[in-house]
A = this chain, B = another copy of it.
Amino acid sequence: MNQPTRLQGVFAPVLTPFNADHSPAPDRLVRHCRWLVDQRVGLAVFGTNSEGNSLGVSEKRRLLDTLIESGLPAERMMPGTGACAPTDTIELTRHAVRSGCGGVLMLPPFYYKGVTDEGLYRAFAGVIDAVADKRLRIYLYHIPQVSNVPISLDLIDRLLGRYPGTIAGVKDSSGDWNNTAAMLERFASRGFDVFAGSETFLLANLRGGGMGCISATANVNPGPIVRLYEEWRHRDAEAQQAALDATRAAFAKFPMIAAMKAAIAWKTGNAAWRTVRPPLVELSAEQRAALEAELTAVKFELANAGALA
């Protein structure tokens, strides 16, 4: 089951920079991705924190093409491809695989609620059968508080039994460590790679046999998160984890996506970074001032911010 492209480490659901008219800003996206890769962070573009669900299929295809044409490493990319419509999921997943992406992060179809595991199994199986490509590696995206469509342990068990290798792992964004621990216990030995949905559980996940984390704050605090990933067996790992938690807590006092963008705008001096796409809203001037005070209190720094401006 070990493949050269097996993904591990720290991934960012890469923030999508927008222009004032809410169109994507590909040049700034490329710079942000380079800055992340230079700090050994993988690229989970089009995730929740990427406002990926506010981007259309053709926008996502074009942005992925731009990233790859810019020389960014496809094998370190895990684009979000799960949409409500199976046809969209298939199109995006096929495009990602043919572009050489190391994996895809796949939401379940998330409009219809109260659906059964049988229905979700058919949805995932339908995508896998339609894409029909041995290179496909799917990371299931469990984020029930947003999707409202949980991915159960029994569903994983069934998918993994039928599609070993293709069902490559999970991002567990439930925030429920017991669930992450259950995934590790039941599936890690079967070549199923568990990523924590934030660095909050990075140390615990690595100790339990997980592969890393895919975390919003990797967009703004990549160095220290990667350092813990690389040094988790060191004696100061708990202290490192505590420092990560303090930085994350500062951001989490605000709407997270807008706050991360505001922090980048602040540190780079480029106010265009603040822009979010509706239905999200930028931080107010008061919120920005409060965020800056919080971040100053935890000694937050954006390393090499000039490369991002």
Identify the A interface with B (CB < 8 A).
22, 48, 53-59, 83-88, 91, 108-113, 115-116, 118-120, 122-123, 126, 145-149, 277-281
- Contact yes or no, B119 A280, CB < 8 A: yes
User: Which B residues are CB-close (under 8 A) to A115?
Assistant: 279-281
Contacts of A108 in B (CB 8 A): 279
Contact yes or no, A279 B119, CB < 8 A: yes
| Chain B positions within 8 Å of A86 at CB level | 22, 54, 277-278
Q: Which residues of B contact A280 (CB under 8 A)?
A: 112, 115, 119
Q: Which residues of B contact A88 (CB under 8 A)?
A: 56-57
Residue contact B109 to A111, C-beta cutoff 8 Å: no
6 contacts between A and B (CB under 8 A): A48-B111, A53-B111, A108-B279, A112-B146, A116-B281, A123-B279
> In the assembled complex, how far is the CB of residue A193 from the closest CB belonging to chain B, in whole angstroms?
24
Q: Which residues of B contact A278 (CB under 8 A)?
A: 86, 109, 119-120, 122-123, 126
Q: Which residues of B contact A145 (CB under 8 A)?
A: 113
Assess whether A85 is in contact with B56, with CB atoms less than 8 Å apart: yes
CA gap between A58 and B123 in the complex, in Å: 19
Q: Give A148's nearest chain B residue, CB to CB.
A: B148
A115 to B86, CA, bound (A): 26
Q: Within the assembled complex, what's the spacing in Å between the Cα atoms of A111 and B143?
A: 11
A70 to chain B, nearest CB (A): 22
A84 touches B120 (CB 8 A): no
A54 lies within 8 A of B84 (CB): yes
How far is it, in angstroms, between the C-alpha of A64 and the C-alpha of B278 when the chains are bound? Answer: 27
Q: Given A119-B281, A278-B86 in contact, is the A111-B55 Cβ separation under 8 Å?
A: no
